[in-house]
Amino acid sequence: MPTAFAKKESLAAIDKKFASLGLLEDFDFVLHLPLRYEDETAVHRIGSLYPGQMAQVEGIVRKSEVQIRGRRQLVATIEDESGQLSLRWLHFYPSQIKAVEEGRLIRVRGEVRGGSFWGFEMVHPKVSRAGAPLSDRLTPVYPATEGLNQPQIRKAVNAALARVRLDDTLPEAIQKKYHLAPFADSIRLLHNPPKDADTQSLIEKTHPAWERVKFDELLAQQLAMSVARATRQNKKAYAMKGKGSGLVTRLLAQVGFALTPAQEKVSREILTDMKRSYPMQRLLQGDVGSGKTVVAAIAAAHAIDQGFQVAIMAPTEILAEQHYRKLSAWFEPLGIATGWLAGSLTPKKKQQAAALVADGVTQLVVGTQALIQQHVTFAKLGLMVVDEQHRFGVGQRLSLARKGEQETIAPHQLSMSATPIPRTLAMTFFADLDVSVIDALPPGRTPVVTKLFADSRRSELLAHVHDVILQGRQVYWVCPLVEESEALQLQTATDTFDRLQQELSGLRIGLLHGRLPTQEKTAVMTAFHRHELDLLVATTVIEVGVDVPNASLMIIEHAERFGLAQLHQLRGRVGRGQNESLCVLLYMAPLSSVATARLKAMYETQDGFEIARRDLEQRGPGEFLGLRQSGMALLRFADIDEDAPIAEQARDTAQDLQSVYPEAAAAHLQRWARQRADLLRM
């Protein structure tokens, strides 16, 4: 009995893992296509290897030793008749030492790294038995998540493939017109490519099977867009055309700085939208620190001045609280009633706050997703501002869209984001979303100097930290990212905290991580704001929007583990005041070529748009999954730059389908876009 129960439970656990990848129904699995393929059909000759190659070789171990010099590592050399290859492990178990004992004949697989004096090497290669049978098909590698391995995913995908019917949604005429491969064949080939398939075109996604999938995806996108557009244009919103009492002007006098021309321009665009009788759907983009908050405040003042309520929502309580602090300091002196609504309030306080919102007493309410929960109603909601909108989970974004829909008169919506969407993407895929860009930073900023430090220079760095703090400045110390495990991440954070407390004794050090109870989080953040702490050890919870101008030094440990966009967001936490600011990227040698390129980009530019461009350029497709989960990448398979010609065909086809084959259009949308239509409206 106990075992049966355990098994059942573990199945449920696996289902949960699949669900976290968005895999619920058979068709989700069918469309869970490989990120790439591994070619395990051949053994390469060591003499033919090149840097960057994913390769599999067999050879005899000539040398193997655990080196203690510097960092403990296991180093081995294998040899075949064409050459030698070094292998290296920085973390290893006794069993791994045994697996590479001298004289053994082994098979290894991994990325070839080049350039060292000794020739090529593999770091952390996978070791297996030499002479084991080779696969006769390319091995698909699927997007995965912690606790799900490739064989489990492969099994689930193949089971789903066996169950579903893969009818073609496209009429034959359309398939002919664009020379499209049949859908069913394409899908089956992508999951199980035959040995003789053109590997290169599969990897580059130029294979006809990929072209078909991309066409279908882009078509679904276009269909969903036109549905969304029609829906929005039929909605009514309050046209805020009244004269008002000059609240915007009073607000501007209150904030204590003059708007930059860029801020003025986007504010005008927003106010123009709000005067229309259908809902605004505008995205305000501006690099980290470009001053989006005051623009949101202007929009809020305009709405409040005409008798409407405004809600401002942020993805984390830390960020929402900062907004609340800033906005209430601006608005309360002007006689505007502000409110705070977040999950951490006691039920009673939450109820009170919600009641004031429902009665229309609160004019401006700031909070987290607590704002869009079922029981929260507004007396007269005119404007909804969503900060860092891409950070909200899909579910939250859906309930936000639905909230707007329940009202007969929808609120205007302003989303804000520091993550730039490439222009082409914005034009083709956010056609229903107007975009305003703040393209210049407020004056008086001293650019942040970025430095790369090898971890071996840590003591030098600690001395500098000391100096900076003695000068009355504050410091962020960002803990290494441990993507594979939240528990490990937490452990790392507390370890870093303990270690720094010893190394920097006498300084006031705080610790902030995602697992702290909200109230503690707030307490730590408040203490840092008030300069009751000198140094804040933090995980990436501070990545979004934290604003403490006196902090002028940021240290990012194991910077090589972070993505470019993330590093940029983190760095944006400093350089907010008048002080010369420094961002130190601490890295652990040796760096992979990808990590080197990433850190170099950080060093070379501070421009968020340029960084985003390089980020897209550098990311392997595998990393896109993170984006997809955050809802940013609306496309899973097509690339909006490279596949622009397909996108155009899809746009024409969408029109054709809707006018000539409406059932096909509906079926196609159904297949691809169970939730897409909703997502597009956010």
Residue ranges that bind Mg ion, judged by CB under 5 A: 545
Shortest Å distance, C-beta 366 to Mg ion: 13
Shortest Å distance, C-beta 341 to Mg ion: 19
Nearest residue to Mg ion on Cβ basis: 545
Which lies closer to Mg ion via its Cβ, residue 545 or residue 608? 545
Stretch that binds ligand ADP, among 4-12, 129-137, 238-246, 258-266 (CB under 6 A): 258-266
Shortest Å distance, C-beta 220 to ligand ADP: 33
Q: Does 143 bind ligand ADP (CB under 6 A)?
A: no
236 vs 225: CA distance, rounded Å? 19
Which lies closer to ligand ADP via its Cβ, residue 212 or residue 282? 282
Contact 46, 57 (CB under 8 A): yes
Which lies closer to ligand ADP via its Cβ, residue 547 or residue 652? 547
Q: Does 266 bind ligand ADP (CB under 6 A)?
A: no
Measured between alpha carbons, how far is residue 590 from residues 88, 228, 439 in Å?
11, 49, 37
Which lies closer to ligand ADP via its Cβ, residue 187 or residue 252? 252
Closest by CA position to 478, among listed 381, 551, 576? 551
Residue 289 binding result from ligand ADP, Mg ion, none, given CB thresholds of 5 to 8 Å by partner type: ligand ADP
Measured between alpha carbons, how far is residue 308 from residues 151, 159, 273, 425, 654 in Å?
55, 54, 15, 34, 39
Which lies closer to ligand ADP via its Cβ, residue 549 or residue 626? 549
Residue 93 binding result from ligand ADP, Mg ion, none, given CB thresholds of 5 to 8 Å by partner type: none
- Parallel/antiparallel/unpaired status of strands 338-341 and 139-141: unpaired
Q: Does 302 bind ligand ADP (CB under 6 A)?
A: no
> What does the block give as tokens for 31?
């469309």
Q: Between 292-305 and 261-274, two packed helices, what is the crossing angle to 10 degrees? A: 30
Which lies closer to Mg ion via its Cβ, residue 315 or residue 404? 315
Shortest Å distance, C-beta 288 to ligand ADP: 5
Shortest Å distance, C-beta 318 to Mg ion: 12
Q: Which of 186, 293, 492, 566 binds ligand ADP (CB under 6 A)?
A: 293
Shortest Å distance, C-beta 293 to ligand ADP: 3
Measured between alpha carbons, how far is residue 668 from residues 163, 218, 222, 231, 645 in Å?
19, 11, 11, 19, 20
Restricted to residues 330-389, the positions that interact with ligand ADP (CB under 6 A) are: none
Shortest Å distance, C-beta 395 to Mg ion: 23
Q: φ and ψ at 155, to 5 degrees?
A: -65, -45
559 vs 377: CA distance, rounded Å? 44
Q: Which of 77, 221, 290, 653 binds ligand ADP (CB under 6 A)?
A: 290
Shortest Å distance, C-beta 553 to ligand ADP: 18
Q: Does 462 bind ligand ADP (CB under 6 A)?
A: no
Q: Does 259 bind ligand ADP (CB under 6 A)?
A: yes
Shortest Å distance, C-beta 325 to Mg ion: 13
341 vs 573: CA distance, rounded Å? 25
Residue 442 binding result from Mg ion, ligand ADP, none, given CB thresholds of 5 to 8 Å by partner type: ligand ADP
Residue 576 binding result from Mg ion, ligand ADP, none, given CB thresholds of 5 to 8 Å by partner type: ligand ADP
Q: Does 294 bind ligand ADP (CB under 6 A)?
A: yes
Q: Which of 56, 64, 186, 263 binds ligand ADP (CB under 6 A)?
A: 263
Which lies closer to ligand ADP via its Cβ, residue 55 or residue 574? 574
Exposure letters 456-485 (e unless 16+ CB within 10 A, then b): eeeeebeebbbebbeeebbbbbbbbbbeee
Q: Does 316 bind ligand ADP (CB under 6 A)?
A: no
Which lies closer to Mg ion via its Cβ, residue 267 or residue 306? 267
Q: Which of 214, 576, 668, 676 binds ligand ADP (CB under 6 A)?
A: 576
481 vs 493: CA distance, rounded Å? 9
Question: x/- binding map, residues 212-251, to ligand ADP, per CB under 6 A?
Answer: ----------------------------------------
Which lies closer to Mg ion via its Cβ, residue 34 or residue 289? 289
Residue 236 DSSP one-character state:
B
Residue 389 binding result from Mg ion, ligand ADP, none, given CB thresholds of 5 to 8 Å by partner type: none
Which lies closer to Mg ion via its Cβ, residue 419 or residue 428? 419
Contact 60, 105 (CB under 8 A): yes
**AA letter at 170:** L
Residues whose CB falls within 8 Å of the CB of residue 496, separated by 6 or more in sequence, listed in order: 477, 479, 480, 537, 557
78 vs 43: CA distance, rounded Å? 14
Shortest Å distance, C-beta 571 to ligand ADP: 12
Q: Does 207 bind ligand ADP (CB under 6 A)?
A: no
Q: Does 286 bind ligand ADP (CB under 6 A)?
A: yes
Residue 22 binding result from ligand ADP, Mg ion, none, given CB thresholds of 5 to 8 Å by partner type: none
Question: x/- binding map, residues 421-450, to ligand ADP, per CB under 6 A?
Answer: ---------------------x--------
397 vs 63: CA distance, rounded Å? 56
> Degrees (nearest 5) of the Cα angle 572, 574, 576?
95
438 vs 289: CA distance, rounded Å? 10
Exposure letters 348-378 (e unless 16+ CB within 10 A, then b): eebeebbebbeeeebbbbbbbbbbbbeebeb
**Residue-wise DSSP of 260-280:** PHHHHHHHHHHHHHHTSSS--
Shortest Å distance, C-beta 292 to ligand ADP: 3
Restricted to residues 510-549, the positions that interact with ligand ADP (CB under 6 A) are: 545, 547, 549
Measured between alpha carbons, how far is residue 653 from residues 140, 171, 647 in Å?
31, 11, 10
Closest by CA position to 392, among listed 31, 682, 119? 682
**Residue-wise DSSP of 74-103:** EEEEEEETTEEEEEEESS--HHHHHHT-TT
224 vs 207: CA distance, rounded Å? 26
Shortest Å distance, C-beta 323 to ligand ADP: 9
Shortest Å distance, C-beta 319 to ligand ADP: 9
Q: Which residues bind ligand ADP (CB under 6 A)?
A: 257, 259-260, 263, 286, 288-294, 418, 442, 545, 547, 549, 576
